[in-house]
């Protein structure tokens, strides 16, 4: 019981100390996003008023579809929503595979 309370308290501390649902997606390369899918704001995050920035690395195929993603940082309550959304993005076609770093900002409603 005490262990569960400690875990829950730690989760709340992490959640409330997160950085600043408007969702803003920025990429760190010249490859443009053609189709931008906004993440679904998690119900737990909504109830706890969690805000934050999630950074996701996306490996993009030459045809513009996302091959894989990897979370680089962000609040654990928000990362799955960000990762799921970026997986559905489409980028402009290119001659080769590229790696894009995307930053999504979750600002409470």
Domains of the chain and CATH, by start: 2-107 (3.30.2420.10)
CA distance 10 to 12: 5
SS (H, E, C) 43-79: HHHHHHCCCEEEEEEEEECCCCEEEEEEEEECCHHHH
Q: What is the pLDDT of residues 5-42, one digit of tens each?
A: 333 434 433 333 333 333 444 545 578 999 999 999 99
**Alpha carbons 25 and 89: distance in angstroms, whole number:** 11
pLDDT at residue number 31? 87
Please state the pTM of the whole predicted model: 0.72
Closest Cα partner for 77 from 6, 3, 13, 27? 13
Q: Tell me the pLDDT tens digit for each residue of 72-106.
A: 999 999 999 999 999 999 999 999 999 999 999 99
Q: What is the pLDDT of residues 39-61, one digit of tens each?
A: 999 999 999 999 999 999 999 99
């Amino acid at each position: 019981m005490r262990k569960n309370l400690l875990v829950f308290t730690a989760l709340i501390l992490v959640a409330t100390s997160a950085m600043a649902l408007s969702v803003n997606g920025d990429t760190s390369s010249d490859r443009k996003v053609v189709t931008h899918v906004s993440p679904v704001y998690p119900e737990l995050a909504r109830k706890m008023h969690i805000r934050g920035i999630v950074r996701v690395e996306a490996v993009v195929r030459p045809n513009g579809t996302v091959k894989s993603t990897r979370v680089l940082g962000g609040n654990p309550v928000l990362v799955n929503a960000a990762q799921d959304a970026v997986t559905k993005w489409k980028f402009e076609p290119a001659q080769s595979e590229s790696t894009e770093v995307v930053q999504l900002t979750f600002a409470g409603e």
